[in-house]
Chains A and B, each alone.
Chain A
Amino acid sequence: MSGATLERRAAMAALVAGRDDNLLVVPGLGSTCWDLAAAGDDDRNFYLWGAMGGAAMIGLGLALAQPQKRVAVITGDGEMLMGLGALATIGIQRPKNLGVIVFDNGVYGETGMQPSATQGGVDLVAVAQGCGIVTCLDVRDEAGLADLAARLKTLEGTLFARVLIDPAEPPRVLPERDGVVLKQRFRAALGLAEAAKA
C-alpha cells in the first residue's frame, strides 16, 4: 500500500459532503461505519454492526429497489474480500445507481492490523474490472477523491472505486446500534408506508 496518503475520516467526509436526499449510504462492518458516523449521522445511512461480506449485496438490493436514488456502498478491504463474489453478481446486474467504494488500507484494523490479501498483492480494481464493472477507479490522491465525490453526485452507471488510505485508525465514533431502529428510520426516510406504523 505504498504511496497511500489519504486519511480515512477526511476521505469519507469528502464523499458525503453536501449530500442530497437521494444519496443512500451503506458502510461495511468496521471502520467505514465509524467513518460515516463521524462524517455526520443521517437517516439514509444504514450502518452495519455485522453481516461481514454483505455490504455490496445490500447495496445491490437497495439500488434495484430504488432506481431513482443513488446508492453508495463504502466498505473496507477486509469486508469486501469476504464477499468478493458480490462483484461478479453486481457485474452482471450493473444497476446505474450503484457505487461500490472500498477504503483499502491493506490491514484488518479492527482486529490488530493483520495484513489483508490486498497487502499481499490482490488488486481489487482488477477484480472489479474482471467482473465486468466498466467504471473502475483507482483513487490515490486528493484529485482522485474529488473526482469520485463528483461522480457520486450523479452516478450514471455502476461504479467501483478503490481508495488507498493510510492504515492509521482514528478513535471510534459509534452510531446507533439497534438494527430495527436503523431499518425503520431508513425506510421512513424513503417514505415507505409500513415504516409509519412502527
Chain B
Amino acid sequence: MTAPADAPAWPDRLYDVFKRAGIKQVAYVPDAGHARLIDRCRADADIRDIVLTTEEEGVALAAGAWLGGDRSALLMQSSGLGNCVNMFSLMRSCRFPLLMLITMRGEWEEFNPWQQPMGAIVDDVLKLCEAEVYRVREPQDVEGAAERAVQQAFGAERIAAVVLSQQLIGKKVWTK
C-alpha cells in the first residue's frame, strides 16, 4: 500500500503500534480520518478487520476477543463514542481491556454544526467512564500516545482512548 505523497504519516505509525502490540482484531465504523489505517489493516492477513453497524458492537466484540485471548482495537469518530456509553459498563464491570482510537469532529474547521454537540463532550464522557485519555494534537505525538494507551488497556485491563484532534485530520472538503 502506498499513500499519496501529501498523506499524513501518523496512520502508518498507528498501524506499526498495532503490529508491535499484537492486535488481531480491528473493528470500526468507517471514518475518513481512519481511512488509511483501515486500509492497512484490511491488507494485513494477520489482522481480522470487522466493519460494525454501530460502535457499541465493537465494545462487546473487544470483550469477547479478550475472553478468547485476542487483543483488539476499536476505531471510530467522535460521534460514535456516544453510541458506546452503556456498553462500557461491560468493560468496567469485568475489567476488560478496550483500546479505542477516536478521530475528532466538531472542534476545528468543522463545516457540519451537527457534529459539535457530541464532539464537545468527548473528553468529559471518557473521563466519566473512567477511561484513560490520551489527547493528541501534533502528528509526532501520535505514536507515543498510542503506545501508552496499549499499555494501559492490556497491561492494566481498562479502557484507554487515543483522541486524535481534528487538526491532525484536516478540513473535510464538502464541495466537489
Q: Do A and B originate from a single complex?
A: yes
Give the interface size bracket for B toward A: 20 to 34
| Interfacial residues of chain B within 83-129, with CB under 8 A of chain A in the complex | 86-87, 89-90, 93-96
Q: A65 near B94 (CB under 8 angstroms)?
A: no
Q: Is A64 an interface residue (CB 8 A)?
A: yes
Contact A64/B70 with A88-B53, A183-B95 known, Cβ cut-off 8 Å: yes
Q: Is A182 an interface residue (CB 8 A)?
A: yes
Q: Is B64 an interface residue (CB 8 A)?
A: yes
Contact A65/B51 with A50-B90, A57-B60, A183-B95 known, Cβ cut-off 8 Å: no
- Contact for A50 among B50, B51, B61, B93, CB less than 8 A: B93
- Contact for B60 among A58, A65, A192, CB less than 8 A: A58
Minimum distance in angstroms from B158 CB to a CB of chain A? 12
Q: A180 near B95 (CB under 8 angstroms)?
A: yes
- Render A133-164 as a binary contact track against B, CB cut-off 8 A, 1 for contact: 00000000000000000000000000000000
Minimum distance in angstroms from B169 CB to a CB of chain A? 25
Q: B61 near A186 (CB under 8 angstroms)?
A: no
**Distance of A53 Cα from B87 Cα, bound (Å):** 9
Q: Give the A-B contact count at a CB cut-off of 8 A.
A: 119
Q: A65 near B70 (CB under 8 angstroms)?
A: yes
**Distance of A8 Cα from B54 Cα, bound (Å):** 31
Minimum distance in angstroms from A157 CB to a CB of chain B? 17
- Render B40-71 as a binary contact track against A, CB cut-off 8 A, 1 for contact: 00000000101111101111111111111110
Minimum distance in angstroms from B65 CB to a CB of chain A? 4
Q: A57 near B64 (CB under 8 angstroms)?
A: yes
Contact A64/B87 with A57-B57, A85-B57, A89-B53 known, Cβ cut-off 8 Å: no
**Distance of A44 Cα from B70 Cα, bound (Å):** 17
**Distance of A161 Cα from B81 Cα, bound (Å):** 31
Q: Is B25 an interface residue (CB 8 A)?
A: yes
Q: Is A26 an interface residue (CB 8 A)?
A: yes
Q: B69 near A66 (CB under 8 angstroms)?
A: yes
Specify which of B48, B53, B61, B66 lies most central, judged by the most chain A CB atoms within 10 Å of its CB: B61
Give the interface size bracket for A toward B: 35 or more
| Interfacial residues of chain A within 65-111, with CB under 8 A of chain B in the complex | 65-66, 69, 83, 85-86, 88-89, 92-93
Contact A183/B50 with A60-B64, A64-B65, A65-B24 known, Cβ cut-off 8 Å: no
Q: B69 near A89 (CB under 8 angstroms)?
A: no
Q: Is B72 an interface residue (CB 8 A)?
A: yes
Q: A49 near B93 (CB under 8 angstroms)?
A: yes
Contact A65/B53 with A51-B89, A180-B94, A180-B95 known, Cβ cut-off 8 Å: no
**Distance of A57 Cα from B86 Cα, bound (Å):** 15
Interface residues of B (CB under 8 A from A): 24-25, 48, 50-54, 56-70, 72, 86-87, 89-90, 93-96
Ordered by A's residue number, 26 sampled pairs between the chains whose C-beta atoms are within 8 Å are A48-B90, A54-B60, A54-B87, A55-B60, A56-B60, A60-B50, A60-B64, A61-B25, A61-B60, A61-B63, A61-B66, A61-B70, A62-B65, A63-B68, A64-B68, A65-B25, A65-B67, A69-B68, A89-B51, A89-B57, A179-B90, A183-B66, A186-B67, A187-B69, A190-B67, A192-B69
What are the 8 A-B residue pairs with the smallest beta carbon separation, nearest first?
A: A61-B64, A65-B68, A85-B53, A54-B60, A179-B94, A57-B60, A65-B70, A61-B65
